[in-house]
Structure 1
């Protein structure tokens, strides 16, 4: 076909007319209806081209002319089939004149001429049969001047269209010609979005591109199956439809089946198969007797055809088997086919073996604003006076497209006052349209999964310890959480679970729906005001199982006896609630009791905690839990921390399953109940700052499961008590063999026993603030990764550190609850003024840190480290000069370091950067020009209280930032800023001195960073030294070893590099 066969008319109009039809075909029925034109219509419709056909699409009995003119004006492309008798029909000629009129006056219209059984010159010159036809028209209308003008326009139209080079199909294969015509039409229409106008879709382009990449359309012989998943209303169908309409023309067969789930429910399996066959194969009257026949028919028709198939809203695996039977879905279609399956349940997609799953994400803030403005204001920007209210809506919708559209549309045309009123109602009365869409996913859950969903929606969202509470509730939380993740109802990131605000609204609405104004009849209470209302009710509650109150607003005083009437309460958490009266009873069904600042002297005597698993009474007024003993057979955790009036630890003879006891800050507690020795499962004992504790029972030596022990700040404990429980004895020959973390800080110790070196499982040792001068040999503690020696004012000699460091796997999985910096790995040697041989100390610590780094990175290269709890590898040691190994060195002008990332910006081989900062501190009483510490600054991992610090000399802070640290937010804030490829790590300029502040003094600790250096670390640096000795360490420094042949010489290398 000649290149100038088609002419497309352009227009200056910027707003295209609405296209109802893709193609309008003008033809003479008696010439071509039952042959060429019928075949052409079928071929066009097979390719999902919406084509107008006058004898079918116009309603019978209506005036045909107006409808026909409308159809012409609403079509984008015109095919004119010229046959011998075409010019004899005034109807055809009027169509042609209107087509030319649209071509000239409307934008982006295209005309394709086809010369069926007549030469193009006959049409162009109106000769031969066309001359005879026009002679008849002129004879008929010669008395009517208007009609004669119309005949003249017909002639002009024929000439105009015939001048377009088109298809002359005389004496040619019609099937081949029709194929070429259809392909040309497809190319002209291109990626159309007739059902999804491009101007109304926000953020669609990048998503279509990402999905297209997963489909790998360039693999023309492969069959790929891709799933689309995401929460309800997030735009899965819209995305699939957008992509489908762009690429469907490339396939032999294509079909988009909407809502497979509904078709399956309404018409069973046969309904789904009939929909596929009707839509994809254009078989309208085909009879299918059963699902087996339907499956076979689908396979026989499609297994050799290049097919595009989209199955929307699949919610059962059975619905997919209808198409394939027992075959792999890839074997049911021809090479080059693509199948897209849309489901809220990712498990269904994985079960069916999709090649990839595209998770549809929430809208970015920019796209969310754009979508909201289009619906709420009908413009692309927020109107004046509405910005704060708009942000409130967007914060609530959290990038959810359906939520943004529905809420935005409901606010359109309202004034500011009406907006405020509507948003106030939104907090308590949720939009039914949004909730109905989201509830579909909830209704498909199993009963236990529904309970877990409701717990998360009401009180466990953004909760790190959700698994413990769900387990206490008796749920199979692992499978339940997995099911909710697969159904896109929650996400799990770095160990935390997150639920979208709208899904939380749904869950809370479900809990409230049966008795919206009677909170005592709900299953869960989580809102402060609802709790206050419930406590005023005099009726007993049979339904309430959970009270989880963390008040963020001031409440009045609540009557404590209201809790006595809740008979089946299983979980109780109360924080910042003021109570009056007496507490006479608590439900014996309680499995979890967490009451911060419990205001009573003891628990009710009638309370039988036989089902209690965890008991938290932090900061309570309790003196003793109860008189005598209680049946605590299920208790695993007892936390009475900061109960400053506690004078008696409970007898735990009937609580043999306890695993953790926390008595931190119980300053009046004089002794530990000897029954603690019966707790063979006890793994954690925290007695930190029990300042009145004078002795420990010797039964503590039998706690062979104990892993974490903290007696820091127990300054009245005798030296012999602290030493004795570290030493084996005839009674306890293998005491504390599982101990991993030991905190002996501020215990007035003048000697550390040699036996501490035999605690082979020890990983964390905190000896801060003691009075010893040296340490025993620690080189057998191969698992030791943190040693804290700061503020040991008499300490002189550092021992030999373990030559090989085995990085423990648990450090990357569990937080260490007793570290000032919980995720710190390294050695802290700060404010030790008597320390001698500082150069030797520095080299030893530096090489030890390198080994820790390598051990950690080797483990992380095996993908066994959690990103959330990735530790900070750091050391603080005396020093005033940056080691020359740090090949980028600078002075610090504004208490920050600047890391130029340009050398590694395009290098995938780097894994992190090792940094060194020289700092010192000073006392500052005048805070003018300085600021308090903020959460975005990095802090040296040392205790900077002025009452402790006597060595104000420079110290060296070595720390490591991994590749993953960059771009990550920790604790809801960025710890660095970035500009033009330069990373700025800001350090604390001012830190409140807590010791002096508590005395009412206005004294502050000011931290100065004087200079810094850094060095990029690469993949090859992960390798551990072969021998594990320091002779290999210079390899890491990039230093040649040919001049060094011994460990002693290696030490010399270290010293040189440290200079």
Structure 2
């Protein structure tokens, strides 16, 4: 057989009848090898270890694959190894520790019961995914922990150290049935960690050391139905998703200041949050944080959701200068309201849960639409914001930058009477109140100074 020296990619994605890989000595310069969805594939030829330039090995959803050859540890250039959905894969070879360039490892939905001790040698590992299938939630994590304890030569029962994985930026441990104390307390030794997904676990609280993960930006704890307390989070946190945390009663941060357009705080369907907690920690203080967020980003060209929070008394925050009952409001703008320091509109809506037909679509994602009209004409397009499924009343805050309106908008000749209107596609929610606030550079600076003090 002729050696194909110029061949760099083999993509057999979805080839369900493909059963066995060829001898790789004939394709020595391969860089990407994709066998995803090759459900009949049962083994990988040992010659794969000769592929010194291979960067990507995708074996996702190879349901018949039961193992990898030891030679896989010779793939010195490999950066991405996808084994998700390999439902018969029971173990990884010890040689995996030789993948010195490996950055992403996904072993979700496998039947792996132990990890090789060499895993802690993966100094460049950035993303580690552990999502567990429903049938294996009961014992997967504990078995995994026991294996790692042995790998670290521990003489007493303790959870494994994360300190060896210094390059890890994303850690997914969803569906692992984690209990209290099973998140390693030295998780703050992950200096590069930015995203932590703990969805659908069984702990009542999270280790307090999470506050010291200095670069953490995203914490996802959806459907942690036993979670009672959310500890203090680092100031770097931009996204917190805590939907369907039915026992969540306390949030430790007074408020979190965020400065990114895609930030958001989602405490939906958290039915145990008390009214006083909602009023103080979510409604008032996150709305203050919204002002700081607007100040930091007011020169950027974006619009986006900032926070969605549940509330029993859905009052529009007092600092919104224009408020009304219902889905629209009329605004008589002051003279010269659109002068140079105007940065945009802060907008707010409170929603009330209403009864509707069982056949209507409530649980999928929906959208909020916001429009501005003057002199009978719509100003620009409708601004669309996504909103997740909500089963209780909630307060929503957002921001529309002045840069999102058409460049040829002639504010000077326009009437000072503007109408803002809001609609939502979810038939189970009704807009109860709405508010608009004009954001100027000077007022944001003054507010920022107050926060700093």
TM-score if structure 2 supplies the norm length? 0.68
Distance (whole Å) between structure 2 residues aligned to residue 661 and residue 703 of structure 1: 12
Q: Kindly state the Cα deviation for residue 634 of structure 1 after the two structures are TM-superposed.
A: 1.0
Equivalent runs, 1:594-633 vs 2, <5 Å: 594-599=11-16, 600-605=18-23, 608-624=26-42, 626-630=44-48, 631-633=50-52
1:938: which partner in 2?
385
Equivalent runs, 1:560-575 vs 2, <5 Å: none
1:749: which partner in 2?
178
SS in 1 for 2:277: helix
Determine which of 215, 229, 253 is the counterpart of 1:783. Answer: 215
Distance (whole Å) between structure 1 residues aligned to residue 120 and residue 447 of structure 2: 37
Question: Alpha carbons of 1:933 and 1:727: their partners in 2 closer, same or farther (altered >3 Å)?
Answer: farther
Q: Kindly state the Cα deviation for residue 921 of structure 1 after the two structures are TM-superposed.
A: 8.4
Determine which of 156, 159, 166 is the counterpart of 1:737. Answer: 166
Quick check: 1:989 aligned with 2:426?
yes
Question: Alpha carbons of 1:1009 and 1:741: their partners in 2 closer, same or farther (altered >3 Å)?
Answer: farther
Residues 74 and 98 in structure 2, CA contact (< 8 A), matched pair in contact too: no
Distance (whole Å) between structure 2 residues aligned to residue 828 and residue 626 of structure 1: 44
Distance (whole Å) between structure 1 residues aligned to residue 332 and residue 74 of structure 2: 60
Residues 656 and 679 in structure 1, CA contact (< 8 A), matched pair in contact too: yes
Question: Alpha carbons of 1:1015 and 1:762: their partners in 2 closer, same or farther (altered >3 Å)?
Answer: farther
Distance (whole Å) between structure 2 residues aligned to residue 786 and residue 697 of structure 1: 29
Distance (whole Å) between structure 2 residues aligned to residue 960 and residue 643 of structure 1: 45
Residues 789 and 829 in structure 1, CA contact (< 8 A), matched pair in contact too: no
Equivalent runs, 1:340-355 vs 2, <5 Å: none
Question: Alpha carbons of 1:935 and 1:754: their partners in 2 closer, same or farther (altered >3 Å)?
Answer: same
Residues 422 and 431 in structure 2, CA contact (< 8 A), matched pair in contact too: no
SS in 2 for 1:755: helix
Quick check: 1:799 aligned with 2:221?
no
Distance (whole Å) between structure 1 residues aligned to residue 343 and residue 150 of structure 2: 43
CA RMSD of aligned residues (A): 4.6
Question: Alpha carbons of 1:641 and 1:607: their partners in 2 closer, same or farther (altered >3 Å)?
Answer: same
Quick check: 1:953 aligned with 2:382?
no
Residues 102 and 122 in structure 2, CA contact (< 8 A), matched pair in contact too: yes
Distance (whole Å) between structure 2 residues aligned to residue 601 and residue 608 of structure 1: 19
Q: Kindly state the Cα deviation for residue 738 of structure 1 after the two structures are TM-superposed.
A: 2.4
Equivalent runs, 1:397-546 vs 2, <5 Å: none
1:708: which partner in 2?
127
Equivalent runs, 1:364-403 vs 2, <5 Å: none
SS in 2 for 1:638: strand
1:908: which partner in 2?
340
Question: Alpha carbons of 1:791 and 1:629: their partners in 2 closer, same or farther (altered >3 Å)?
Answer: same
Q: Kindly state the Cα deviation for residue 678 of structure 1 after the two structures are TM-superposed.
A: 2.0
Question: Alpha carbons of 1:767 and 1:635: their partners in 2 closer, same or farther (altered >3 Å)?
Answer: same
Residues 788 and 827 in structure 1, CA contact (< 8 A), matched pair in contact too: no
Q: Kindly state the Cα deviation for residue 1023 of structure 1 after the two structures are TM-superposed.
A: 8.1
Distance (whole Å) between structure 1 residues aligned to residue 117 and residue 355 of structure 2: 44
Residues 36 and 58 in structure 2, CA contact (< 8 A), matched pair in contact too: yes
Distance (whole Å) between structure 2 residues aligned to residue 892 and residue 829 of structure 1: 24
Residues 646 and 668 in structure 1, CA contact (< 8 A), matched pair in contact too: yes
1:696: which partner in 2?
115
Distance (whole Å) between structure 1 residues aligned to residue 215 and residue 394 of structure 2: 26
Determine which of 589, 592, 602 is the counterpart of 2:9. Answer: 592
Q: What's the CA shift string for 1:751-770, capped at 9, x where partnerless?
A: 33322234333222222222
Q: What's the CA shift string for 1:783-839, capped at 9, x where partnerless?
A: 22222223221111121232x43889xxxxxxxxxxxxxx84233333333445861
Question: Alpha carbons of 1:928 and 1:839: their partners in 2 closer, same or farther (altered >3 Å)?
Answer: closer
1:828: which partner in 2?
266
Quick check: 1:655 aligned with 2:75?
yes
Question: Alpha carbons of 1:800 and 1:668: their partners in 2 closer, same or farther (altered >3 Å)?
Answer: same
Question: Alpha carbons of 1:616 and 1:754: their partners in 2 closer, same or farther (altered >3 Å)?
Answer: same
Distance (whole Å) between structure 2 residues aligned to residue 729 and residue 901 of structure 1: 68
Question: Alpha carbons of 1:634 and 1:855: their partners in 2 closer, same or farther (altered >3 Å)?
Answer: farther
Equivalent runs, 1:128-527 vs 2, <5 Å: none
Distance (whole Å) between structure 2 residues aligned to residue 983 and residue 726 of structure 1: 59
Quick check: 1:1015 aligned with 2:437?
yes
Residues 899 and 982 in structure 1, CA contact (< 8 A), matched pair in contact too: yes
Distance (whole Å) between structure 1 residues aligned to residue 148 and residue 290 of structure 2: 29
Residues 939 and 987 in structure 1, CA contact (< 8 A), matched pair in contact too: no
Distance (whole Å) between structure 2 residues aligned to residue 845 and residue 680 of structure 1: 47
Q: Kindly state the Cα deviation for residue 912 of structure 1 after the two structures are TM-superposed.
A: 4.2
1:763: which partner in 2?
194
Q: Kindly state the Cα deviation for residue 923 of structure 1 after the two structures are TM-superposed.
A: 8.2
Residues 708 and 741 in structure 1, CA contact (< 8 A), matched pair in contact too: yes
Q: Kindly state the Cα deviation for residue 1007 of structure 1 after the two structures are TM-superposed.
A: 5.2
SS in 1 for 2:74: coil
Q: What's the CA shift string for 1:902-925, capped at 9, x where partnerless?
A: 679733323344444444587853
Residues 90 and 111 in structure 2, CA contact (< 8 A), matched pair in contact too: yes
Residues 792 and 832 in structure 1, CA contact (< 8 A), matched pair in contact too: no
Question: Alpha carbons of 1:629 and 1:832: their partners in 2 closer, same or farther (altered >3 Å)?
Answer: farther
Distance (whole Å) between structure 2 residues aligned to residue 724 and residue 966 of structure 1: 57
Q: What's the CA shift string for 1:599-633, capped at 9, x where partnerless?
A: 31233336634222223333332534622241221
2:106: which partner in 1?
686
Question: Alpha carbons of 1:932 and 1:610: their partners in 2 closer, same or farther (altered >3 Å)?
Answer: same
Distance (whole Å) between structure 1 residues aligned to residue 110 and residue 282 of structure 2: 36
SS in 1 for 2:124: coil
1:578: which partner in 2?
none
Aligned length: 388
Question: Alpha carbons of 1:675 and 1:983: their partners in 2 closer, same or farther (altered >3 Å)?
Answer: farther
Residues 162 and 184 in structure 2, CA contact (< 8 A), matched pair in contact too: no
Question: Alpha carbons of 1:902 and 1:832: their partners in 2 closer, same or farther (altered >3 Å)?
Answer: same
Question: Alpha carbons of 1:606 and 1:616: their partners in 2 closer, same or farther (altered >3 Å)?
Answer: closer
2:141: which partner in 1?
718
TM-score if structure 1 supplies the norm length? 0.32
Question: Alpha carbons of 1:648 and 1:713: their partners in 2 closer, same or farther (altered >3 Å)?
Answer: same
Quick check: 1:774 aligned with 2:192?
no
Q: Kindly state the Cα deviation for residue 1009 of structure 1 after the two structures are TM-superposed.
A: 4.7
The structure whose RCO (Cα within 8 Å, separation 6+) is larger is 2
Residues 105 and 129 in structure 2, CA contact (< 8 A), matched pair in contact too: yes
Q: Kindly state the Cα deviation for residue 635 of structure 1 after the two structures are TM-superposed.
A: 1.4
Q: Kindly state the Cα deviation for residue 699 of structure 1 after the two structures are TM-superposed.
A: 2.7
2:377: which partner in 1?
none
SS in 2 for 1:769: coil
Question: Alpha carbons of 1:961 and 1:608: their partners in 2 closer, same or farther (altered >3 Å)?
Answer: farther
Identify the structure with the greater strand proportion: 2
2:251: which partner in 1?
none
SS in 2 for 1:601: coil
Q: What's the CA shift string for 1:62-90, capped at 9, x where partnerless?
A: xxxxxxxxxxxxxxxxxxxxxxxxxxxxx
SS in 1 for 2:95: helix
Residues 218 and 237 in structure 2, CA contact (< 8 A), matched pair in contact too: no
Distance (whole Å) between structure 2 residues aligned to residue 889 and residue 850 of structure 1: 17
SS in 1 for 2:437: strand
SS in 2 for 1:790: coil
Distance (whole Å) between structure 1 residues aligned to residue 220 and residue 176 of structure 2: 14
SS in 1 for 2:73: coil
SS in 2 for 1:709: strand
Distance (whole Å) between structure 1 residues aligned to residue 279 and residue 61 of structure 2: 39
